[in-house]
Amino acid sequence: MTDFSFLVWNVRGAGNPRAQREIHYLCRTHRVRILLLLEPMVEAAPEYFCRRLGFAHMIGNEANTIWLFVDSSFQCQMVASDDQWIHVQLSSPQNRRPLLLTGVYGRCSVVRRREIWGFLEETAVSAVGVPWIVGGDFNAIADISEREGPGRPRLRSIQDFSGALLDAGLIDAGFEGPQFTWTNRRVWKRLDRILYSRSWEEFAETTRVRI
Stretch 12-27: mean pLDDT, rounded?
95
Note whether 141 and 147 are within 8 A (CB): yes
Q: Which amino acid is located at 130 in the chain?
A: V
Distance of CA 145 to the CA centre of its chain: 21
Residue-level pLDDT at 35: 98
The proportion of the chain whose per-residue pLDDT surpasses 70, expressed as a percent, equals 99
Q: What is the pLDDT of residues 66-111, one digit of tens each?
A: 999 999 999 999 999 999 999 999 999 888 889 999 999 999 999 9
Q: Residue 1 pLDDT > 70, yes or no? A: no
pLDDT tens across 193-209, in order?
A: 999 999 998 888 889 99
Tens of pLDDT along 120-159? 999 999 999 999 999 999 999 999 999 999 999 999 999 9
Distance CA 190, CA 147 (A): 7
This prediction has a pTM of 0.96
Find out whether 50 and 69 touch, Cβ atoms under 8 Å: yes
Q: Which domains does the chain have, with CATH numbers?
A: 5-203 (3.60.10.10)
